[in-house]
Structure 1
Amino acid sequence: MSVFESKVTVNKTAAQVYAFLADMNNHRQLMPDNIEDWESTADVASFNIRNITQLTLKIDERVADSLVRIIPAEKPPFDMELKWELTATNGATQAAFSITADLNMMMKMIASGPLQKLVDEETTNLAALLS
C-alpha cells in the first residue's frame, strides 16, 4: 500500500472543521482545477478527473470532531481510502489528510506525483477556506 499524507493547522475548532468535512458537498471547494462534472450529496460525490478517470466516492465513517473516512462507491482503477483526521490544539485544529492506495509498481510510478499533489492541495485549500 502507498500512503500520501499532508497536514495543516486550521484556525477553527475541530467541530467547525469536522462539520465542513463531514458533508461531501463541501469537498468540491477543496479539489484541484482538473476536476470536472462534480455532482454530490452530503454522503456521495461523483466527478471526473480530466483526462484520467471518473470516480464516485462516499463517506464510509464519521466520528464527530475527529474523523471522516471516504471510500469508493464504485469500483475504482485501484483500491483506495481517503481519510481526514482532526486533532484539536489550543483553539485550532490540526487536519491530517491521507490517501492510501493499492498501487502496482507501474501505477505507483504514474500516480504518486498526482496523488501527493492532491493531498497537498486539499489541505492547503482547507486552511485557506476556513481561516
Structure 2
Amino acid sequence: MNLESPKITIPKSKQEIFDFLSNVENFGKIMPENIDKFEAAEDSFIFALKGMPEIKLKLKEVIPGEKIVLGSASEKLPFSLTANIVEKESNSSDVQLVFDGNFNPMMAMMVKSPLQKFINTLISNIQNQ
C-alpha cells in the first residue's frame, strides 16, 4: 500500500527542513492533536494516538538535504514513511511524505483512511513549523 501526502511548498531552505525532520524529537511537534504518547530516543521515537496501539519508528535511511526514511521497528507491520525534500529556490522547498506498507488486503482497507489523514496532518504541521 502506497499513500502520498500533498506536496507542499515551505518558505525554508531544504537544509532547514532536512535538519528539522532528521531530529526525531521534532516529530513530537508535528503529531496530530489526539496524540496520547510520544517518546524520542537517539534515532527513533514511539508514539500512540488515542485509542490506537503504540508505533515505533526508527531512522532507516538519510540522504543529506533530500530524503529521510523512517521505518517500522516491528517486523509484524513492515512499513516506511519517507520525507522527500526538493529545493525550489534558495529559501523555498517542496516537501512530500510517502507511506509505503506491506499489509494484507483486509488490513490495508481498514488503515488506509486513518493513515492518509495522519500523513496529511503531519505535512500540514510541518508547514506550520
Fold conserved (TM > 0.5)? yes
Query: After superposition, where does 1:1-80 map in structure 2 within 5 Å?
Result: 2-6=1-5, 7-76=7-76, 78-80=77-79
What CA distance in whole angstroms lies between the structure 2 residues aligned with 1:85 and 1:54?
A: 25
> Alpha-carbon deviation of 1:80?
0.5
Q: Matched residue of 1:69: which SS?
A: strand
- Asked if the contact 1:45/1:56 (under 8 Å) is kept, the reply is yes
Aligned residues: 127
What CA distance in whole angstroms lies between the structure 2 residues aligned with 1:73 and 1:58?
A: 6
> Alpha-carbon deviation of 1:36?
1.7
Query: After superposition, where does 1:77-116 map in structure 2 within 5 Å?
Result: 78-90=77-89, 91-116=91-116
Q: Matched residue of 2:51: which SS?
A: coil
Q: Matched residue of 1:116: which SS?
A: helix
Look up the equivalent residue of 2:111 and give its one-letter code: A
Q: Matched residue of 1:96: which SS?
A: strand
Q: Matched residue of 1:32: which SS?
A: coil
Look up the equivalent residue of 1:17 and give its one-letter code: I
RMSD: 1.2
> Alpha-carbon deviation of 1:109?
1.7
What CA distance in whole angstroms lies between the structure 2 residues aligned with 1:61 and 1:50?
A: 29
- For residues 82-115 of structure 1, the C-alpha deviation after alignment (integer angstroms, 9 at most, x for no partner) is 1001000023010110111112221122111011
TM-score by length of 2: 0.92
Q: Matched residue of 1:39: which SS?
A: strand
Q: Matched residue of 2:54: which SS?
A: strand
Give the gaps of 5 or more residues in structure 2.
Answer: none
Q: Matched residue of 2:128: which SS?
A: helix
Give the gaps of 5 or more residues in structure 1.
Answer: none
Q: Percent identity?
A: 23
Look up the equivalent residue of 1:34 and give its one-letter code: N
Q: Matched residue of 1:122: which SS?
A: helix
* Runs of 4 or more consecutive aligned structure 1 residues displaced over 4 Å after TM superposition: none
